[in-house]
Amino acid sequence: MSETIDLRSDTVTRPTPAMREAIAAAPVGDDQYGEDPTTNRLQERVASLLGKAASLFLPSGTMANQVALRVLTQPGDDVIVSPESHAVWHETGGSAANAGVQFTTVGARGVFTAEEFAAAVKPRGHVIYPPTTLVEIENTHNRSGGVIFPQADAVKVCAAARERGIATYLDGARLWNVAAATGTKLADLAAPFDLVGVALSKGLGAPGGSLLAGSKELVARCVRHRRMLGGAMRQSGILSAAGWVERCGSPGSSPPRASTRSTTTSSGCATIMPTRARSPPRSPRASA
């Protein structure tokens, strides 16, 4: 009898034998003192992959998104996102409860243009409007079937945001998929953004974990908000060891020179879910 293929989500993957071995053998320390060598090494590696100065390990992608909002906004601010984005639909209202922000949606089916972004910006200092202080792009976009946000549009949106003093955040939980589907380096995909989130559990097999990457100053602020939200851990290397195997090979090995299009590692990790590398129609999607 053949094994059932579960297509409900790319999160139902399970750790490979190599990940389980790495978890059991991982050298660990107290991460709240910055002394977990496995977590430290993973953070350094992911920061390098994304072309950022630093990165921070968190338990989940939702926490990464929530910490990003706390760092990049103030209560009462307006955040521009695509329709049906994860932060709006799948975080149980955490953005309102934790960061106190409201969302303005623009575009259709996961993507929007710089012109659509600019038209939705609310100015600072207005007597009535909440100020727009952040634009968030989800790439790939989960509820739009894994559609890829065109990189040319991302660059233009981020440039328009910088002109207006607006911060930029990439919810790149599935950014590995984008790199594999387009052949674009992770660092190039992340370059336009102030802060970038990536996940280790989305179709790649690790049991949990996400990272935020950005400047040293932003990541230092993320540390505080991670603790506020209950995400500070002690021997976090138990979890991050699986992420190291997934991205880099065995915990004690040097990172392999893998193609940017490859999504499997020496651990034999399962390949990522299919991704649609095209711009979707601009017309709104009918509800299911």
Per-residue pLDDT of the chain (288 residues; tens, 9 = 90+): 567 888 888 888 888 899 999 999 999 999 999 999 999 999 999 999 999 999 999 999 999 999 999 999 999 999 999 999 999 999 999 999 999 999 999 999 999 999 999 999 999 999 999 999 999 999 999 999 899 999 999 999 999 999 999 999 999 999 999 999 999 999 999 999 999 999 998 867 789 999 999 999 999 999 999 999 999 999 999 999 998 876 555 444 443 332 333 333 322 233 333 333 444 433 333 332
The answer to whether position 264 is within a domain reads: no
Q: What angle do CA 165, 76, 52 make, to 5 degrees?
A: 45
Name the domain count of the chain.
1
According to the model, what pLDDT value does residue 247 have?
58
Write down the pLDDT at residue 7: 81
Residue 39 domain-assigned (yes or no): yes
* Cβ density class 21-43: b for 16+ within 10 Å, e for less: bbbeebebbebeeeebebbbbbb
Q: How far apart are CA 166 and CA 131, in angstroms?
A: 10
Closest CA to 269 of 201, 174, 183, 199: 201
- The residue among 126, 124, 122 whose CA lies nearest residue 106 is 122
Q: Which residue has the tokens 């910006």?
A: 121
pLDDT of residue 287: 30
Cα–Cα distance between 27 and 49 in angstroms, integer? 22
Task: Name 240's Cβ contacts closer than 8 Å, sequence gap at least 6.
Answer: 26, 36, 38, 39, 42, 57, 209
**Does 174 reside within a domain?**
yes
Each as own residue / partner, the long-range contacts of residues 254-259 (CB below 8 Å, 24 or more positions apart, any chain) are: 255/45
pTM of the entire structure? 0.85
Strand partners, 147: 141, 276
The strands making up 167-171's β-sheet, listed across from edge to edge, are: 54-58, 210-214, 195-199, 167-171, 132-138, 78-81, 102-105
Closest CA to 26 of 247, 267, 251, 256: 251
Q: What is the CATH number of the domain that holds 50?
A: 3.40.640.10
C-alpha 242/C-alpha 268 separation (Å) is 12
Q: Domain of 26?
A: 17-248
pLDDT score at 205 = 78
Is residue 232 domain-resident?
Answer: yes
Q: Where are the alpha helices (DSSP H) in 206-248?
A: 216-228, 237-248
